[in-house]
Amino acid sequence: MNKSFERSDAQIISRLFFRLLPAQAFMLALNGLNNMIDGLVGSNFVGAKAMSAIGIYTPLQMACMAVSMILMASSQVLCGRYMGEGRMEKTRGVFSLNLTIALAFTATVTLASFLISRTLAGLLGATQENMADVSNYIIGRGIGVIPLLLGQQLASFLQLERQSMRNYIATGLMLVVNAGFDLLFAAVLGMGAMGLGIATSLSNWAYFAVVGSFFLKPMATLKYSIRAIDWSEIASMVRIGFPSALLIFLTALRSTIFNRMLAAHATLEAVAALATFNMVYILFSAMVSGISTTGRILASVSYGEEDRRSLTLLMRTILTKGYAIVLLTAALEFLLAGFFTGLYYSDHTSAVYAMTLSGIRWGSLFLLLQILASIFSSYYQALGRIKAVNMFSLMEGIAVMGPLAIALVPRMGLDGLWITMLTDRLCGHSAVRGGLCRDLLETPSENAGRMDHPSL
């Protein structure tokens, strides 16, 4: 293989990777920023109870996101396939089915948020000390569940309509509305945790209004119609979308267990520190998720074209340049740990400050280990290895962390949880990933044109 030709191909793939990466990471980072706004206002104007309420609510939010992921991932695949085949009636049928399921699910969650908020708070791990705050926060967030999931579904269809910029505008508006109403309700009107929840819900409605308004225009290709609903696609949607949602479901279950364990064996400050850690970690891990998502998109194209050589070049790019980016991101998180902790807790002598600072610094190490797991999970998903993806999700979601947390958290509190997270990332399928990594780093000429390699 001509080396100059090989370098040229590698440069093309690298440019394509870095052209797609910023948009993926940007959108994920904005979602993290929205959660951080609630946390910043809550910690500074309401107190540790508000932070614990946000943290305890997180598993319920993640469960909703898992359902949203099933609908989004499957609908994008099916609609893209049918649009490419010119079957617009099937496309509109999937679109209408998606929104119908999303509306039915979110309406159920909204009713539950109003009618059994205290029951949900108890199931999520609230104690007598913060039961009222968690219950009020659930009610406040319940107002915005419908626009949150419907907005996410419609945003995914905007890509098919070539209206991605509208999504950026909607997200920016969402952040501004959330920050403004958080300050009004919590800092000025003293509405506490419920005020924080209502503010987030109003920002969801603002997002939904901007995104959804496009589909009311005559230029929109996709239109909702009850008669167009294609009920026969339900099984396909579940099958296609489930792998993307499994890890989120397991993480939600895991978060609930951890919150309950910390409440029972540690302190309310430990629950608040974990909530703060999660907010900051989501922000920095957006780069990790962006790299893995971009890799999955490009790997799917290479695999579909049976281009082993391009696939190898792509994975070499991710494992080298992608990892270098994450290394810089992790270093930035470690250096800014004190800054972010100070944003939430001004008293540097408090226990919650020390626990949060320690957790954010631990998080910088987690990033370096998480990127490997994300790369290989995305790689297998692109190649259709659904069983392997599900196995990764089970291992990383709860199989390793669950037993370790049960053993360490009662004895060591929050420190035991950090050790559990580190151990999970170290031991999860390390042998398989190591072998695959060595294979992918072979020279492209050795693998060119081969799509029957054992790792595939």
41: exposed, middle or buried (Cβ count in 10 Å: 0-12, 13-18, 19+): buried
Structure token digits, residue 261 = 């364990």
The residue with tokens 């980072």 is 29
CA distance 20 to 194: 38
Long-range contacts of 346-353 (CB under 8 A, 24+ apart): 346/44, 350/269, 351/267, 351/269, 352/48, 352/269, 352/270, 352/272, 352/273
Taking residue 328's Cβ as centre, other Cβ atoms within 10 Å add up to 11
CA distance 297 to 281: 24
CA distance 316 to 368: 17
| CA 244 vs CA 146, 231, 238, 250, 330: distances in Å | 21, 22, 10, 11, 25
CA 196 from chain centre, in angstroms, equals: 21
| pLDDT at site 14 | 75
Structure token digits, residue 247 = 């890890």
What pTM does this model have?
Answer: 0.71
Local confidence pLDDT in tens for the 456 residues of the chain: 455 545 566 677 777 777 767 766 766 676 667 777 877 787 777 766 677 777 788 788 878 887 887 787 677 667 766 765 677 778 788 888 888 999 999 999 999 999 999 999 888 877 787 788 889 999 999 999 999 889 888 877 776 677 767 878 888 898 899 989 988 998 888 888 888 889 999 999 999 999 888 888 888 777 777 877 888 778 877 776 676 667 677 777 777 777 777 767 667 778 778 878 888 888 888 888 778 777 766 776 666 556 677 777 777 777 788 888 889 999 999 999 999 898 888 788 888 888 889 889 998 888 888 787 777 766 666 666 666 666 666 666 566 676 777 778 788 878 888 888 877 777 654 544 544 444 444 433 333 344 444 343
Q: Cα torsion at 222, 216, 224, 159 (round to 10°)?
A: 40
User: How many helices, marked H, and strands, marked E, lie in the chain?
Assistant: 19, 0
DSSP letters for 335-376: HTHHHHHHHH---TTSHHHHHHHHHHHHHHHHHHHHHHHHHH
Q: Which 3 state secondary structure label does DSSP give 141?
A: helix
CA distance 329 to 360: 13
The residue with tokens 């496309």 is 91
> Which residue type sits at 67?
V
Taking residue 339's Cβ as centre, other Cβ atoms within 10 Å add up to 9
Q: Which 3 state secondary structure label does DSSP give 86?
A: coil
Terminal-residue alpha carbon distance, the chain: 23
| pLDDT at site 138 | 92
| pLDDT at site 106 | 92
